[in-house]
Structure 1
Amino acid sequence: MLKWFLLFLGIGCVYFWVKKQKQAKLRSEESKVSNDNKAKRVGEPEAMVQCQACKVYLPQSNALSHERRFYCSKKHRDTLDSEGWIGNAFWRVSPNQDLRPENTQPDLVVIHHISLPPSEFRNRNFSHCIVDLFHNKLDPNAHPYFAEIADQKVSSHFLINRSGELFQFVSTHNKAWHAGVSSFLGREMCNDFSIGIELEGDGDAPFEDVQYQALVQLIQKLESDYPHLQFAGHSDIAPDRKTDPGIYFDWEKFRKDTQISTEKMPFGLEPR
């Protein structure tokens, strides 16, 4: 009996010794592979990317990114670049645009409101419908109102939705189709010399605080490149056709927050 016990004990010891040796060998091989991979990563050159604003190249790990675009600094990401685009906006380039007249710089900002479907922004986020309209992709079967406007070719330079997100559709260098038949202090065809900003909303509800905040930040960026801007509502330049931005747009708050002089608001600060 003792003989058999010693035999099984010996076999067990051999088995566990062999198993231990295999485990040690496996750990050694895994460690070698890991070290080789680390060495390989250290030796590989890091991907370089180009700043969208100043065009300098830098390691991707050092860059700020937004929508697959890269920037060397927050300042460059958050300002208007040389092509007329703001880096921290969501770029949704509209086909509804053309060149400004030669030697024409924008000197007017026109503030609008827009809601698609009308007033339904209160229920859920419908910003995508506005994007579709500016891309000529609005589904006329999605809502009765869409059937009325789906064939319109319109756009704006910017949209600020109810969450304060900033979208850009047209470079400020180019002409967006936002003003239509219009006149500003005797100057016709306001699209030629203006920048259009749409606020998601209607004439029956106040705008959100975050929309004012985003609007103020946008105006500060625009004024750094266009210091002679004046400001008006769509109803000011097309009074027989339009009522936006409406009585709930707070012109006094807008002026106070932007520190714009009243001389740059020729239609005054009263709600209208």
Structure 2
Amino acid sequence: MNSVTRSDLTFRSGGDECAAWLYRPDTPTPVPGVVMAHGFTAVRDQRLDAYAQVFAEAGLAVLLFDYRHFGASAGEPRQLLSVKHQLQDWEAAIATLRAQPGVDPQRIALWGTSFGGAHVQAVAARDHGIAAVVAQIPFCWAEKPQQKVPLGKTLGLLFAALRDSLHGALGLPPHYIQAIGDPDDHAAMTSPGAAAGIASITPADSGWRNRVAARFVFQLATYKPGRQAGDIRCPIHYTIAEQDAFISPATIREAASLAADAEISSYPCGHFGVYVEPLFSAVARDETAFLLRHLTADAD
């Protein structure tokens, strides 16, 4: 186990500054690197620092960042989720880690969870210099939801998205909706136990805010990164939560079947169970083993 230092770092993406933590293992030789980011509206202090610490102790440099408009990163208006912008943030983060002294630019992996797991599939499908990918409980496409969404809620989300899109076109402040909640909440993403689940990964001083600009809704129907898995040339590890009420395990398995070199690890938990004990240590161990196998096997 390596000793690890963590430092603050910023990089530019689309004219704004993204905030990141850079984890460096104490080793004199160039090391592989992992770029990491969270999911839907989430920020780095929501248990991703725990994963980053494990990966760094295993000898990997880690760049863990917040997307523009979220957390400690810049970007106005706040809580604005743009798939296009977030993919640009990934590309800028990868370039930043590749340029770091002591990091081997040929051995860079991506690690994304939930909506971030969607992004790592899309990025790796077009950046064939990526050496390995971990897609943890990833959004792949929206056709097979885990739960039926009542018509009234669907219409309410569409109305909110239309209102927010109009605000954007007129230069007005966003129309926000609650991001995550239980089924009785008027939130974008709901499931039984979701409020307790998000609370379990969110420290008291977190930069996370439980709201999002409603216009994001229109992006979900057309964003299908799992369909791009066949274009991913590097090994990819899919982490599945079998009781996930947000993301259908069937869509993840279908995406994995399209990839040229995919493996799956499955755990008996809901969406938030992979972040905390009693399963966190097992998930982190399995993902670390995958990363080391593909990032260090050929290193001298």
* TM, length-normalised to structure 1: 0.30
Larger Rg: 1
More strand by share: 2
